[in-house]
Amino acid sequence: KNEVEQSPQNLTAQEGEFITINCSYSVGISALHWLQQHPGGGIVSLFMLSSGKKKHGRLIATINIQEKHSSLHITASHPRDSAVYICAVREGIGTDKLIFGTGTRLQVFP
């Protein structure tokens, strides 16, 4: 069983739809990251959170530490949001290494 699991693996949406991507983890963590990878490879960090909720533009990330679960929401989705979204966790406080989920591939159609 993977320590970090994402769902769904693939997601298609029409422009304007509200999108939710889920991440569950089985280890104790000090932080959770949401990353975005566009075709071509480059990965950028969207959020780093250890509690509560963060918002940046149309993106919202939430985390429930007790339930070991995080969600990434995209409001008013747009074709340029099409990418792979990756959840990663930092296990405990003694390491700077991350454990990655396998990613959710999102395609938003006009």
Nearer to another protein, 56 or 97 (CB): 97
Residue 30: CB atoms within 10 A of its CB come to 13
Q: How many CB atoms lie within 10 A of CB 56?
A: 9
Stretch that binds another protein, among 20-28, 55-63, 67-75, 97-105 (CB under 8 A): 97-105
Query: For residues 39-68, which are near another protein according to CB under 8 A?
Result: 40-45, 48, 50
Cα separation, 69 vs 78, whole angstroms: 25
> 4 to 43, contacts with another protein by CB under 8 A?
30-31, 33, 35, 40-43
Considering the complex, what minimum distance in angstroms separates the CB of residue 14 from another protein?
26
Q: Which is nearer to another protein, 77 or 104 (CB)?
A: 104
Which one of residues 11, 19, 90, 106 is an interface residue with another protein (CB under 8 A)? 90
**Residue 80: strand, helix, or coil:** helix
Q: Is 32 exposed, middle or buried (0-12, 13-18, 19+ CB in 10 A)?
A: buried
